[in-house]
Structures are given as structure tokens and as C-alpha cells.
Structure 1
Amino acid sequence: MLQTARQPRHLALLALATVFAVVFVALGFWQYGVAQQDAREEALREGPRQPIVALDELVAPYEPFPSNGSLRRVTTSGTYDADQQFLVPGRVLEGERGYWVVAPVVVDTTGARLPILRGFVTDPDQAAPPPAGKVRITGALAPSDSPVDVGPLPPGQRGSIEVATLINEWGGEVYNAFLFVIAQDPAEPTSAMQPVPPPAPEVDGLDWRNLGYALQWWVFALFAYYLWWRSVREDHLDEVARQEAAHSSPPPESPPGDHPAPDVPEGTHV
């Protein structure tokens, strides 16, 4: 069959099948991206619809971050520990580089500390102390940052909101999470600190309808090669049948009048 596949006609068909397969695979990946985007948009639409719950209904101090807690809206109340405020450099908001301003709130119900991302400043001098007294905060819950190695930093600055390090330094009980502030009462004392919006959720799911379309395109790519293989196979079988017919045919009969004359003994007259 390999010889049949090497025929110019089948080589041309193979090249055409490859062109179609490449196009179909590309369309499949495009549809796969659409499936991911649709899932992300659905998650963004569903996020604000989730009910706001009390912090302690979703997570407790020292507990692992809940699997369904990322960017979930929660509310809590407590008092800022202004002495533990710190800055996270190298952050960007609306194209400007600056600092996150983070301070822990001692939660009323547990006495544990919860890091609060108060806002963003472009200059460390703009990071005013947090409001004194009791505050009520509504925000989006986020897991601990990964450690970031940014080299030596000035006092009062950290590379990230890494809760494991904060636990060792703050002592006492600490939540294994931090909060993006959405609303706070009383509000921040300075307008120089801009609120940091919660990030878009990282969505691993897919829109199943568009995923089905992607799989269809990839099946079409395989089908193009199947059609080429079938064409080669049929031509090969036809060639084998012709060869078998040629080998099994009986030898041709001699035409009348071509038979040799019988031998006649000498001296015999006919």
C-alpha cells in the first residue's frame, strides 16, 4: 500500500488533506479559547450575584483557604492594628506604578488578625494610618500571596502579602487569607489612597457547548486524513485484484488450423 500512497495523485491528496487538517485544528483551538472566555465571563457575571456572607461563615483562623472562597464577598468588623501596617512595592494600578497599603484588622468575633488591602498609593508618604476605632469592612477574599524575592527592602515594606511570614511576626491567630476592600465604614481618611479592585477570577472551567464545537473541528481534521487513507486503500485493493486476476487466467487456446500434423510412418501412402 505504501507504493500506492506514493503515487503523485495520492501525494497531492495528502497535501490537500494536511491543509484542511491544519485549518480545522486552528479553528478547534480558536473555539477552545472561546469556551474558556465564555466560562470566565459567566463567572464574572455570577460573582456579584453570590450573597455576601460573614467572614467566619467561610473561613476561620489558621484554617486552609476554602476551595470556594477565592474573591467571595464577605463582611467583618474589627479594629485596625496600625503598628503592623506595611507597603508592598512594585504594584500597578491603571498604568501607574506604586504600592499596596496593607494593615491587619483584629476581627471582633475571633480576635485574630486579617490582612486588609486598604488601597494603592504612588508615594509611600501618601500611606496614611488606618482609621481609629471600630470599622466595618466588606471585601473580596483572596488567598495568601506567594513569596516574592525583590531583594532588600526599606523598613515597613514587604515583597508580597505572604501570610505564613506574617503569622511568625505578628504572633497570635491569623487568617490564612487577605481582603480587597470594597466598602468600609468609616471610610479612608485620605483621598490619595485609591481603592484596589479585586482581580478577575481565574477560571479553570469551560463552556461545554463551545468545547463541543472545538472537538468537532478536531474530528474534521482526523476525517480529512481518513478520507485520504480510504482513497489509497481502495486504489491498493483494486491494484491487488488486477494482479490476482492476471495470475489466475488460463493460457490462451491455439486458433483452428494451427494444430501440428500427426506423424506418418515412412512408406505409408495416404
Structure 2
Amino acid sequence: MLRTLFTPRWLTLLGVVVAVCVAFAWLGLWQLSVAQDDAFETLQAERDALVEKPLDEVITPHAAFPADGAGHPVVVEGVYDGSRQFLVPDRVLEEQVGYWVVTPLQVTSSEGADAAAIIPVLRGFVADPADADVPPADPVTVHGELAPGESPSLAEEPLPQGQRGTIDLSTLANEWPEALYNGFVFSTQEQPPVTDEALAHVPPPVLQAGDVDWRNLGYALQWWVFAAFAIFMFVKLLHDAARTPPDDRPTVSTAAPTDERIEPHHV
């Protein structure tokens, strides 16, 4: 096959196939980016359409986390319980490793809520645990975005007292006697502000598209299939050409036959 390949005809055809495959691959990647962008824009539009609601209109104590609850703006009134505040280590903010400061909020004034309901609130970030303030037990209104609980920590080493590997709501539900909301709040604003300025604000998670536009994804796969088919056909034709033996049949003369007669010899 290599002898056949390294001929002007097949090298030219190889160049054409490579150019076609590169073009098809680029078209597939373009369609994939369009599929992702369309899904992101749809999700962003849905997020922008959300309006801030009281916490209990989005989620209630003990209820499952709503499918559209992540990132939903909420407002909740209550009192911080600083005695059960904890830090979550190994978190990163602006390339600095530090701790999340999480304080349970006893919900006391949300309409229809259990008077003893409680929800963890991520109040901020510190690089040094000593900088984590304990908020006063005064009424406060917290504005923020709702987030689901995190998976249990897999750390093998025990953490110091007052620290937890993650915001694991299943563990908190077993330790805290109050009715627990199945989520926590990224605090964006407090009224009145009770959190010390030493705590850096932790922005809510960046919006990510969890799905794609299936039509454009199909177009992307179609272009890649075309590229694969072009490669297959080139290899097949090259293989067939390499196996075909050269035409070694003898050459047949095309000259007109002469009309000569052999006259008998008379003695």
C-alpha cells in the first residue's frame, strides 16, 4: 500500500481528503459550540427571569430540593445561631485557599414556616480561621441565592473542632433538632449588616449549562461522521488499488496482415 500511496495521484487525493476532514471537523466543533451556546442562553434567560422570593415559596423544611432551585434568589428573615457556626476548609476564592464561614439561621418570620426551622447561610470567606466573626443574635434579613447541599466529606484525617469538610445537610439533619431546609444560602446582602467586613463575599456558583441543543449536536455528529466516512473510503480505495495486479498481458499488434502468397516452385 505504501508504494501505491507515494505516487502523485494518490498523494494528491490524500491532500484532498485531509482538507475535507479538517473542514468537516471544524464544522462539527462549530455546531457543538452553537449547541452549547444555545443551551446556555436558554438557561441564562430562565435565570434572569427569576425574581427574588421568600424562602418558603421556593423550598420548605424537610422538602426535597426543587429541580429549579439552584441559583434561585431568595430572601429570609431570622436570627443567626453563632454557637453552631462552622468553617469549611480548603475552599478557594480569587486563587487564595481558605475557609467558608457557615452559620445556621433560625427562621422566625417567614410566612407559613415552622417557627423552629433552620437553614445554613454561607456568610463569607476567610484565609485565617481567627478572622471568622460570630454574628450577634439579632433579627436580620438575608438576601442570597439558594444552593443544594454538598456531598459528604471523604477526608481521612479528622478536622479541628468547629470545622466540617462540606456542607453535608444529611449530617446536620441528624445533629440539629430543628426542622432543616434541604439547601443552604449564598448570602449576598444582609439588612442590617451584621457580618464583619473581614469576611470576603463568596459569589454564588457560576452559571453552567447542564444540557445542549440536541438538534445542533446532531449536526455536529453528522459532520464528524462525514469525515470518518471520507477516511474510510480513501483507505478502502487505496487498499483495492494496491491489491490490483498490473496489466501484464502481451501487447497485440494492430498492423493489417499482409496478403502474400507463396507461389509453388516449378522445376
- TM-based fold match above 0.5: yes
Whether contact under 8 Å (1:131, 1:186) holds in the other structure is: no
Q: Residue type of the partner of 2:123?
A: R
| Partner residue, 2:149 | 144
CA distance in 1, matches of 2:35, 2:135: 43
Question: What is the rounded CA distance, in whole Å, between the counterparts of 2:96 and 2:259 in structure 1?
Answer: 109
| Aligned positions of 1:13-92 closer than 5 A | 13=13, 16-44=16-44, 46-92=46-92
Q: String of CA shifts for 1:184-243, please: whole Å, max 9, x gaps.
A: 11213411112111011231222567546635633652564588599x5xx99xx9xxxx
Is the alpha carbon distance of 1:21 and 1:157 closer, same or farther for their aligned partners in structure 2, counting shifts above 3 Å?
A: same
From 125, 128, 143, the counterpart of 1:123: 128
Distance 1:11 1:18 in 2: 10
Show the 5 A alignment for 1:110-189: 110=114, 111-150=116-155, 151-189=157-195
The answer to whether the 8 A contact 2:123-2:195 is kept is: no
Q: CA separation in 2, counterparts of 1:88 and 1:179?
A: 15
Structure 1 residue ranges without an equivalent (≥5): 240-254, 259-270
Question: Which letter maps to 1:75?
Answer: V
For the residues of structure 2 that align with 1:205 and 1:26, how far apart are their CA atoms? 21
Q: In the alignment, is the contact (CA less than 8 A) between 2:32 and 2:220 conserved in 1?
A: yes
Q: In the alignment, does 2:199 pair up with 1:199?
A: no
When the two structures are superposed, what TM-score results if normalisation uses the length of structure 2? Answer: 0.75
- How many Å apart are 1:31 and its aligned residue? 3.7
Report if aligned partners of 1:10, 1:228 keep a CA contact under 8 Å in 2. no
8 Å Cα contact 1:44/1:200 also seen in 2: no
Residues 1:178 and 1:55: Cα distance change in structure 2 (over 3 Å): same
- Return the alpha-carbon distance in structure 1 between the equivalents of residues 231 and 158 of structure 2: 59
Question: Under a length normalisation based on structure 1, what TM-score does the superposition of the two structures give?
Answer: 0.74
Conserved 8 A contact 2:146-2:185: yes
SS in structure 2 of the partner of residue 62 of structure 1: coil
Q: 1:129 to 1:179 in 2, by over 3 A?
A: same
- Kindly indicate which of the two structures has a greater share of residues assigned to helix: 1
Aligned residues: 250
**Identity percentage of aligned residues:** 45
Larger Rg: 1
**Cα RMSD after superposing both structures:** 3.9
